A and B are shown apart, each in its own frame.
Chain A
């Protein structure tokens, strides 16, 4: 079945450091891929998405490229800020599974000044 695997956290970085959070997926068809962010005490917000191979999603300095050959959708940011501290969820959605979204386990990021 479909699934998403994220790197284990927590991740702690200093401000202005480079961020990578790895995400790989397993799907039977042609999924859409998403990164959601959850700030403390809040619901999830869509950060970026990509709907087909080689698409790059980007938002707020974050980027992720849909790599079909490696079944990956790694999240990157060149220079993190304290305000980026949150939990990041990789997710996929596929037409074969109707309305279901498959979330990864989440990666907690803490950025220290």
Chain B
């Protein structure tokens, strides 16, 4: 199994809603990531978890709250989002926290904030 699975594929939410994005991998990878991608732009790193501990937070607003319940799962909790947060949210994983490993990406959650 070489997949990173993200759910849901599409999400529409209002600015007062609370929702969660989910990501799962069963490759035994110990590093997991959240990226945000706006249309026609490269992915921007949001968070990195290494061995289930948050290791990088790229100054992301607190309305985004990541969680890593175990080594296979990564969540992104959303609350009080703004319309400018509409984007494709990508989860990725890699074997270890190092420089030589490739990233495996999920297909993403297309988020629209109304």
Contacts and interface: CB of A to CB of B under 8 A. Distances in A.
B12 interface: no
Interface residues of B, number: 29
B97 A99 contact: yes
- The number of chain A residues touching the other chain, given as a range, is 20 to 34
A20 interface: no
A28 interface: no
A108 B105 CA distance: 19
A51 B99 CA distance: 10
Contacts of B105: 36, 43-45
A101 B41 contact: no
A101 B103 contact: yes
Given A99-B55, A99-B56, A31 B99 contact: yes
A43 B99 contact: no
A36 B90 CA distance: 14
Interface of B: 4, 6, 31, 33, 40-43, 45, 48, 50, 55-56, 90, 92, 94, 97-108, 110
